[in-house]
Amino acid sequence: MRGGLRSRLFFSHLVVMLVGLVSFIISSRAASHQLFSGHLDRLVDMSHAISELREELLEGFETAWSGSTALSLMVGSLTAAGLSYWVARRITSPLVQMERIARLFAAGNLSERVPPSDIPELARLSYSFNRLALSLQNVEQQRRQLIGDLTHELRTPLTIVRGYLEEVAEQQQPLSVETAHLLVRETRRLERLINDLQELSKAEAGQLPLHLQVIVLPPLFDKLLLRFESQITDDGPCLGWQCDEEIAPVLADPDRLEQILVNLLGNAIQHTRQGKITLTAWEASAQVWIAVNDTGLGLAEDELPHVFDRFWRSKRSPVPAASGTGIGLAIVKRLVELQGGRIEAESQLGRGSTFRFSLPKA
């Protein structure tokens, strides 16, 4: 397919040459015969002997040939020029449109699209160009949305910090212990937000360093559940894990895998007052799937498609907005994808949620 357009261009130029040559031969044959025949007719009318008219015959032939050649060259040139112009215009017209639309993109207008072409190679190029335009448009929309979301997230803690500092300055009193703790909490929130944004930016750009190793899952599950048991009250949910002891190890970055599970388990604990939270794992083809199941509040059907969006939080969440940055699941999704897996979510309102992701077998 790479040589398709090249072959067509070569064939079109060959056709132009053949058309010009055929036009030249036909025109030359017809015109020279007619011109020379007319000259002979004039000689017959003059009743001269052929031997006496040799020079006259040769001169007449040269005249007929010159005239027919000039006519043939004119017809052939016009035919070849017209055909070449049509072929060149048919090929260059989509390219000219792409160049014009590229200038519009540079000016910030990302809504233009290249119409399809009858030439297969140019049609594929137009399709790729339009996909690039759509991707750029989506990136621009996400950039604007990110700036808006980030502005909203930063405004609240900054407003709180400024308000308390202005109050202390106006009253000319030292900071109370309670105010100092509140300011520390808000500045830590800002710090978490900035760190999460930096990590998400690196993850989306594929710049996070990964150190893939063979990881056995049961010991990791034991370690994580032991870590979270201290965060659960006596009347809280029960933690457990369930998988085959001989399950295949996975090939992953140990720190990033632990970060993924800590985030998913932390979310499950925050949204599950009672019941149970279970870590499960199973093999499927060349992948190992790991799931975090809870019997918590769950998500509505219209909320589920947004669960991995940046800064998204459920309206029904019992967790205050100040306790998280809303970027954790977006980071989790990207970390899973960087390690060659994919992540899915299922949930029913009032019955719990399941977050599962896959990783390649070691």
Q: Are residues 197 and 320 in the same domain?
A: no
What span, in angstroms and rounded, lies between the C-alpha atoms of 316 and 314? 5
Q: What is the pLDDT of residues 80-134, one digit of tens each?
A: 677 667 777 777 777 788 788 888 877 777 777 878 777 777 778 788 878 888 8
Q: What is the pLDDT of residues 167-218, one digit of tens each?
A: 878 877 777 888 888 888 888 878 877 877 777 777 776 777 888 999 999 9
Q: Are residues 197 and 217 in the same domain?
A: no
Q: Which domain holds residue 49?
A: 4-109
Answer yes or no: is pLDDT of 51 > 60: no
Q: In this structure, is residue 117 part of a structural domain? A: no
Asked if 133 contacts 105 with a C-beta cutoff of 8 angstroms, the reply is yes
Q: Are residues 336 and 252 in the same domain?
A: yes
Q: In this structure, is residue 116 part of a structural domain? A: no
Of the residues 171, 204, 237, the one at which a domain ends: 204
Q: In this structure, is residue 313 part of a structural domain? A: yes
Q: Are residues 188 and 306 in the same domain?
A: no
Q: Are residues 338 and 220 in the same domain?
A: yes
Q: Are residues 68 and 161 in the same domain?
A: no
What CATH number is given to the structural domain containing 171? 1.10.287.130
* Helix %, strand %, coil % of the chain (to 5): 60, 10, 25
Of the residues 149, 183, 204, the one at which a domain ends: 204
Q: Are residues 140 and 227 in the same domain?
A: no
Q: Are residues 217 and 353 in the same domain?
A: yes
Q: Are residues 192 and 285 in the same domain?
A: no
Q: In this structure, is residue 70 part of a structural domain? A: yes
pLDDT at 24: 64
Residue 205 burial by CB count (10 A; 0-12/13-18/19+): exposed, middle or buried?
exposed
Asked if 357 contacts 342 with a C-beta cutoff of 8 angstroms, the reply is yes
Q: Are residues 223 and 329 in the same domain?
A: yes
**DSSP letter, residue 361:** B
Q: What is the pLDDT of residues 288-305, one digit of tens each?
A: 999 999 998 888 888 888
| Backbone φ, ψ for residue 116 (5° rounding) | -65, 155
Q: In this structure, is residue 115 part of a structural domain? A: no
What span, in angstroms and rounded, lies between the C-alpha atoms of 27 and 34? 11
Q: Are residues 218 and 95 in the same domain?
A: no
Q: Which of the residue ranges 41-45, 76-80, 246-250 would you say has the lowest mean pLDDT?
A: 41-45
Q: In this structure, is residue 246 part of a structural domain? A: yes
Percent of the chain whose pLDDT exceeds 70 = 71
Three-class secondary structure of residue 313 per DSSP: coil
**DSSP letter, residue 247:** P
Of the residues 83, 109, 135, the one at which a domain ends: 109
pLDDT at 321: 46
Q: Are residues 223 and 195 in the same domain?
A: no
> Structural domain tally of the chain?
3
pLDDT at 141: 76
Q: In this structure, is residue 118 part of a structural domain? A: no
Q: In this structure, is residue 337 part of a structural domain? A: yes
Greater confidence (252 vs 24) lies with 252
